[in-house]
Amino acid sequence: MELFRYAMSVYGQDQLLGANWDLIWWFGGAAAIYIVVDAACRPFLGKNKRKTLVNAPNDGATVRRHHLIDRLYHWAMAISVLTLIGTSFAPILDWKFEWVTAHWIAGVSLSLLVVYHIIRAAFWQDIWAMIVTPADFRVAFATARAALGRPDEAPLKPGKYVLLQKAYHWMIAALVLGLMVTGLTMWLKIDTPFWNRNPYILGDDMWGLVYTVHDFCAMSVLALTMIHVYFAIRPDKWWQNRSMFSGDIARKDYFAHHDVTRWAPDDV
């Protein structure tokens, strides 16, 4: 399987152009297989749920998980990313339409949103909520053991996010930052209402590299987004995921599923 696209350069040599687009099927396929396997195993793994200590009454009280501003950020970011995926991959897969303008507008929007998010996360949110710590691995181990039928005596509970969520966040963050850096550079190479294209800011080889990085990050984001949306709509996680819509989780779920020493929302 060829990983890259090449062309013959002015000098008659191979010149790197980008990723081989057949790989889209491999990235998409791998994500699809992951989803199918996970969905098929769930019913069996779920049988031996860890015992949970529920020390809050089921009284309808709630705990704020995502503030409105963070939900708005998530959804605006998600719309940008889905637009970027749609506008770039659909034409490659032969569904032709005018894609470039919509793509760069979504790309610039995403970039602004992410800059905003990083500033907010650094100064106004709890940065430790997303940082991976040894405790996350202990929780992940305990959860895996429990799923395989060996529930612990005293269950370990995670902070605000479990290891997989953190891993997903940082992978997506790295990929999106990669797409931003390469995408904004590519933006300078096309005509926009603000400037005329300048292809000379980089040499041919460097451009090849920029496109290749953009292409591979794009296909990875496609795969991760498929998996993320699957996890987001799984019914057994709805108690938590509804919070990206309403902002809240039930107070009883907070106590049942989270380590109160590691995640203390404002309203608890």
Long-range Cβ contact pairs of 109-115 (< 8 A, separation 24 or more):
109/76, 109/80, 110/77, 110/80, 110/81, 110/84, 110/176, 110/180, 111/180, 111/183, 111/184, 113/73, 113/76, 113/77, 113/80, 114/77, 114/176, 114/177, 114/180
| Identity of the amino acid at 200 | Y
Residue with tokens 């500033």: 119
Stretch in the footprint of ligand HEM (CB under 6 A) among 8-16, 54-62, 183-191, 251-259 = 183-191
Q: Which residues contact residue 62 at a Cβ distance below 8 angstroms, ignoring those fewer than 6 apart? A: 248, 249, 250, 251
Scanning 32-40, 47-55, 198-206, 228-236 for contacts with ligand HEM by CB under 6 A, the matching segment is: 228-236
Nearer to other proteins, 5 or 74 (CB): 5
Q: Give the C-alpha separation, 215 to 4, whole Å.
A: 10
Tell me which residue of 160, 184, 179 sits closest to 225, measured CA to CA.
Answer: 179
Reference 219, options 18, 28, 16; nearest CA is 28
Binder of ligand HEM out of 61, 102, 172, 227 (CB under 6 A): 172
Examine residue 17 and tell whether it contacts other proteins (CB under 8 A). Answer: yes
| Min CB(262)–ligand HEM separation in Å | 12
**CA-to-CA separations, 65 to 22, 82, 263, 268, in angstroms, rounded:** 40, 24, 10, 11
Reading the block at residue 65, the tokens are 């998980």
Strand partners, 64: 248
Q: Which does 62 bind (CB under 5 to 8 A by kind): ligand HEM, other proteins, none?
A: none
Q: Which does 97 bind (CB under 5 to 8 A by kind): other proteins, ligand HEM, none?
A: other proteins
Size of interface with other proteins, in residues (CB under 8 A): 25
Of residues 190, 229, 244, 256, which one binds other proteins by CB under 8 A? 190
Contact yes or no for 127/121 (Cβ under 8 A): yes
Residue 34 one-letter amino acid: Y
When CB distances are held under 5 to 8 angstroms depending on the partner's kind, the choice from ligand HEM, other proteins, none that residue 183 binds is ligand HEM
Minimum CB separation from other proteins for residue 96, in Å? 5
For residues 263 and 58, the answer to whether their CB atoms sit within 8 Å is no
Residue closer to other proteins by CB (options 94, 236) is 94
Binding mask 20-59 for ligand HEM (x = CB under 6 A): ----------------------------------------
* CB-nearer residue toward ligand HEM: 56 or 78: 78
**Least gap, CB of 215 to other proteins (angstroms):** 10
Q: Under the rule (CB under 6 A), what is the footprint of ligand HEM?
A: 18, 65-66, 70, 73-74, 77-78, 81-82, 84-85, 88-89, 100, 103-104, 107-108, 110-111, 114, 117-118, 121-122, 125-127, 129-130, 160-161, 165, 168-169, 172-173, 176-177, 179-180, 183-184, 186-187, 189-190, 211, 214-215, 218, 221, 225, 228-229, 232-233, 240-241, 243-244
